[in-house]
Amino acid sequence: MKSVKKNWRADDLAVPQVRSMRAYVPGMQPEGGGWIKLNTNELPYEPSPSVATAVAEEVARLRLYPNPTSRALREFLAQKHGVSPDEVFFGNGCDEILAVLMRVFAGGGFAAGMSQPSYTLYPVLAKIQDAAMETIPFPRNMVLPVEKIAASKANLFLLTSPNAPTGVEFAYADIRRAAEGFSGVFVIDETYADFASDNCVRLLKELPNVVIARSMSKSYGLAGARAGYALASAEIIALMDKVRDSYNVSRLDQAVALAALRDEPYHARLIAKILETRASFLKALRERNIFVHESGGNFVFAEPSSPSQKPGAATARSCYEFLKENRILVRYFPDDALTDSFLRISIGLPEDMLRLLEVLDTWRKNA
């Protein structure tokens, strides 16, 4: 009988790609009060009041397993988007959607691909699958590199639209050309589509290799519940269903998501509030001669500068730290030349944005 060695280490038994990988690091979640939290693109408003009612009604049924396919949600979303229920997948947040797609279409010699910069979870998910990740960099002006994407040899390609972290929107025609030229499964991560001027859902009827991924964390105010979905051909959805967890979405999350989806008037009002605040904040930054990309998300990507400091990585780091010292959290991405001089700033309440501008002015005056 073999015995456990005294110097036994779990790390020695982990698969090689997990041993060598770096885990995804989410945005800071501060403890205590007094913070203005503009670093993880959460909605600053409460979700629909019907959500609380749905939770209260569902509590009595928590002893029962949830519907394994989130059937009611698939049916509702099919009607909402003009597709069939078998062309909808509901998951434990958009992150599970992405992980499931990686399980099905990457690894085992099949590579994944992504534009760069993009959502930093993508390479982590590829690493877990031991899949090679091909990155296609954007130019400084963030124009979509259509030809390079179409020519990619990856089996699965992930494109955020609007882009994260820059917020830049891409023309439908350009996305269509990239997807049509790509030979594998083309995922359009539309986490922020509700804040954008357009989306690619209609592309599903034109190209069989397209998957639309959506999150309910942002525009529905459900970051604390885990809810996301995918729209794709019935063939792709069936493959995704093969590898998801048996009960991947809890009863509470299903009830919460359905209640939020049904209250479309409330959802529309939330979107309008964010867009109004975003427009005024963009204007205020530009009045300070701070470069900021046009945004299709509930955030902006701004390149801080001051009369005495030109834009650059050191300037962005200085501004980030000064805001943090004043209990304002934004997001800094130092690991890419296209992002290291920028800060991503979530759109919060109007008073949050005014406070940030006050602190930003103090930094610019003293930098």
Average pLDDT over residues 231-252: 97
pLDDT tens digits along 55-77:
999 999 999 999 999 999 999 99
Q: Which residue has the higher pLDDT, 351 or 140?
A: 351
Residue 259: closest CA among 81, 97, 92, 52: 52
What is the percent of the chain with per-residue pLDDT over 90, rounded to a whole number?
89
Burial 110-132 (b: 16+ CB within 10 A, else e): bbbbbbbbbbbbbbbbbbbbebb
Interval 86-117: pLDDT, tens? 999 999 999 999 999 999 999 999 999 999 99
Confidence class for position 253, pLDDT limits 50, 70, 90: very high
Q: What percent of the chain has pLDDT over 70?
A: 99
Chain-wide mean pLDDT for the chain?
95
Alpha-carbon span 256 to 107, nearest angstrom: 34
State the Cα–Cα distance between residues 268 and 285, nearest whole angstrom: 26
> pTM of the predicted model, to two decimals?
0.94
- pLDDT category, 152, cuts 50, 70, 90? very high
- Report, as an integer, the average pLDDT of 195-218: 97
Sheet with 299-303: strands ordered across? 291-292, 299-303, 343-346, 331-332
- What are the chain's domains? 49-263 (3.40.640.10), 265-366 (3.90.1150.10)
* Residue 147 to residue 101: CA distance in whole angstroms: 24
Q: Which residues are CB-contacts of 289 (< 8 A; sequence separation ≥ 6)?
A: 305
Residue 229, strand partner residues: 90, 214
* DSSP class per residue in 57-122: HHHTTTTSPPPTT-HHHHHHHHHHHTS-GGGEEEESSHHHHHHHHHHHHSBTTB-EEEEES--THH
